[in-house]
Amino acid sequence: MTESPILRYFAFVHLQPPLAAVSSWFYQLAHDIERDLPAGAEKSTALRKLLEAKDAAVRAALDLPTDVHLPED
């Protein structure tokens, strides 16, 4: 099985903390979805909407104080 190309947009190592921590939560879920759900339109939609949610959460994290340390899962 080949990975969905959208998974590359969930990478987070290039981000600064705490943005990387927030993004890592979505990275893990995206890979779980890729691994556990059958291919199809609904899986593609789930990953696309998860990417939208990740982008919004990372933008929200831009307003966190710089000394905040969020857990990475």
Token pair 């939560």: residue: 25
pLDDT at 73: 61
For the chain, the helix, strand and coil percentages under 3-state DSSP, each to the nearest 5: 60, 0, 40
Alpha helices in 1-73, H assignment, sequence order? 19-36, 41-61
Q: What is the pLDDT of residue 17?
A: 86
Give pLDDT tens digits for 41-73.
Answer: 999 999 999 999 999 999 999 998 877 777 776
Q: What is the pTM of this model?
A: 0.87
Which residues lie below 8 Å from residue 26, measured CB to CB, with a gap of 6+? 10, 50, 51, 53, 54, 57
pLDDT tens figures, 1-43: 678 999 999 999 999 888 999 999 999 999 999 999 999 999 9
